[in-house]
Structure formats: structure tokens, C-alpha cells
Amino acid sequence: MGKVWLVGAGPGDPDLLTVKAVKAIQQADVILYDRLINQEILHYAKPDAELIFVGKLPKHHFVQQDMINYLLVKHAKLGKQVVRLKGGDPFIFGRGGEEAKFAVEHHIPFEVIPGITSGIAAPAYAGIPVTHRDYSASFAIVTGHRKEGVEEEEKWRALAKGIDTLAIYMGVSNLPYIQKQLINHGKDPNTPVAFIHWGTTDTQRTVTATLSTMTEIAKKENVINPSMIVIGEVVRLRDELQWFEESHEGRRLHEAMV
């Protein structure tokens, strides 16, 4: 009997991969990897490892989740060490819980290796601390794929009034709805907002707005996925604390001159 490893690959910067994740990748016979995985991470795989792309685009899945579950169990039953390599953390909007449950149902041993999620890493690289003594004592990770309904109205009310900083995943295509719900449920329209595109990578770009202008500015600045949306007073600290994009821009200019 083999084993399944649910491995978090982190937010994009390959240097943020954990040591334990590297060890799992190095011993894997089979690696099923996502679309947002930094390809440099796959260099840790042994030469004879089978690499299987199971990435997903918004509204288009190259491989359905049922097939991914099947492949994990199939290879493990063949006695192989199987790594499911997932962007960020396996249990944060990564369906890692579903894959772990499927392994249990088929009596396959598994292990979870947490990864650094983009909800904290992208803001950090953009100079935005998600908590701060003067600005934020609470922080929530939220999916942008939300549907209307009575229960959702209650949740939006709690998010608008009860949480200081929101990190919204997969929300770019749903901006008007997010904006409307937060404002209608009491969030200050002047609350600052940041869009962080490809956070922690060399192509990171940050666009700022306010809650009342976020949809308009995102359209004007062509904000697209993958982008982390951060909403809260902590975004005001970016002007003072930003470090990553400036240092990388300086490096690119230097390399271009050389």
C-alpha cells in the first residue's frame, strides 16, 4: 500500500515552500499538481516521477475533482507515494478535505503538509499586515464565490461589521456583488482595498482603491485573476511598508541596464 501526501506549495515564491514539502516531493513516485504551482517547485521531483497536471481555470476544469480523487487512490493502491501538490494550503479553498476524506473511505493512509496561504503572504509582500494593534484585531479568509440567500445575508452582515480585515479569494469576477453586500451591511464605503495580482512572484502588481470605487478601479486597471483582495484599514499601511515590488522593480531596471 502506498500513501497520499496533501502538500501545500505556498503562494508562488518557491522559496516559501516548507522543508517538509520539499522532502515529500523528492520521494514522490507520482505528483498531481495544480495550475498555480510555480514550475520551479517541480524540479525537486526525482527524474522518474510521474507528473500529472490537474489544474483548473475559472469555470473550466481540465480534470474533474472526481477524477483527481480516483487518481490519488489508484496510484496509492499500486504501492506508490503520491503527492497532491496544491497552491497555498491544502485545506484553504483547495478541496484538500474532500481528497483526504476520499482517501479515508478507500483505506489509504494520508498526511497533510500545510502551506503558506496567499491570504497572508500576498498582503505581506505588498506591505500590508493583516493584523495591527492600531487597525485590525480580527482577520477573515473568505471565498468570493458566494450566492444570494437569507443565510448569506447574515454572513455578509457579520463580515461587514464584525471583522476588521478581509482577505477574499477568487473574488475578481464577483466584485459588484461583494461591494454591494459589504456596503449594504454597514462597511464604511471609504474603507481601503488592495488587489494583489500574482502575489509573492516577480510579476506581482498591487492596485489600491476604496470599497466604493473598487469595482470601477479594478475594471480601469484591468485587474484579473489570480488576485487576492484585501479590504480593511491595514491597507493604509502599504504606502509606508511596501518593500517587495519596489525592490524588484529596481532589480529589473538594473538588469535591463546591464
Active site residues: 34, 56, 170
Residue 84's contacts (CB-CB under 8 Å, 6 or more residues apart) are 4, 5, 6, 7, 32, 68, 72, 90, 96, 99
To which H or E segment does residue 251 belong? helix 244-257
Q: Are 193 and 182 in contact (CB under 8 A)?
A: no
∠ CA 61-64-67 to the nearest 5 degrees?
150
CA–CA separation, 11 and 53 (whole Å): 18
To which H or E segment does residue 35 belong? none
Residue 240's contacts (CB-CB under 8 Å, 6 or more residues apart) are 127
249 burial level (CB within 10 Å; 0-12, 13-18, 19+): exposed
Q: Are 17 and 9 in contact (CB under 8 A)?
A: yes
To which H or E segment does residue 14 belong? none
Cβ count near 54 (within 10 Å): 21
For 164-207, give the DSSP string: SEEEEES-GGGHHHHHHHHHHTT--TT-EEEEEETTTSTT-EEE
